[in-house]
Amino acid sequence: MKSIFLTVCLFLFFASAGLINAQVDTVYLDEDEANLVDKNPVLSYGDYLKFVSINGDFAILIYDAAEFLVMDEAYLDITVTESNPSDVYKVRKLDKGFTKLYYIYSFGNDEWPDAPPRIIIVGYGTE
């Protein structure tokens, strides 16, 4: 009986902390893709975002990333290689959903994509 009670308590603790049902949305970067990414991620509060290179070296810049990601800096400026993926960033609660453009530079192709990719935030709330 104690083990069932303890299990239920732990489940409720992790669920209320947002650790259950949160997903890591991985954006795969590839020099051979027309837009350098495999998809535009669709995120909601509590989800996590990560960038991984499967082909090439990239620089990623997201202006005002702190508006929707839990981070200390105002913007995200990172380099992602095949051997060095990005950190995992958590999506914060927001007043409304929106679409955020971000910029990717391919060192191998020496180019920016013609149309910047997007991050779509659909879930929101208040902190």
Residue 114, pLDDT score:
79
Q: Is pLDDT larger for residue 18 or for residue 100?
A: 100
Does residue 105 lie within any of the structural domains? yes
Range of the domain at 51: 22-121
Does residue 10 lie within any of the structural domains? no
Work out the mean pLDDT of the chain and round it to a whole number.
Answer: 83
CA distances from residue 38 to 1, 46, 81, 101 in whole angstroms, order as listed? 48, 22, 16, 15
Does residue 44 lie within any of the structural domains? yes
Q: Which residues contact 118 (CB under 8 A, 6 or more apart)?
A: 40, 99, 100, 101, 102
Instruction: Answer whether residue 127 shows pLDDT above 50.
Output: no
